[in-house]
Amino acid sequence: QVQLVESGGGVVQPGRSLRLSCAASGFTFSTYAMHWIRQAPGGGLEWVAVIWYDGSQKYYTDSVEGRFTISRDNSKNTLYLQMNSLRAEDTAVYYCAKTETNGWYEDVWGQGTTVTVSS
């Protein structure tokens, strides 16, 4: 069964760091690009970052560029999001998602992990 399971969310103070993980199973993780997408409470979807299947390319949305780092360990079938200098506006549910084979959409999503940035 194809599955993504996020972990690592929690409550953190502004300016601190947090690392999210996404464990993949049921598919050949090392052959797919992976995304992080977030959703603020009561808000819409915001695409955050992508990493190529081999880690060779990474892209970020402007608001997290320089603060967040996406990475992956294909030997562990795990995707990561290192979040530094967290701000209140980073509060959201964070989803990891797998790219469909031809890149047209994200076809498998995790259940999400909640990050709350608050003093």
Partner 1 sequence: DIQLTQSPSFLSASVGDRVTFTCRASQGISSYLTWYQQKPGKAPKVLIYAASTLQSGVPSRFSGSGSGTEFTLTISGLQPEDFATYYCQQLKTYPRTFGQGTRLEIK
List interacting residues with partner 1 (CB under 8 A).
35, 44-47, 50, 59-62, 95, 97, 100, 103-107, 109-112
**Tokens found for residue 46:** 């915001």
Stretch (H or E) spanning 106:
strand 106-109
CB of 59 to partner 1, least distance (A): 4
Location of structure tokens 């999001």: 81
Nearer to partner 1, 53 or 60 (CB): 60
Residue with smaller CB distance to partner 1, 83 or 119? 83
Report in angstroms how near the CB of residue 36 gets to partner 1 at its nearest. 11
CB of 90 to partner 1, least distance (A): 16
Q: For residue 105, which of 116, 97, 117 has the smallest C-alpha distance?
A: 97
Do the beta carbons of residue 42 and residue 75 sit within 8 Å?
no
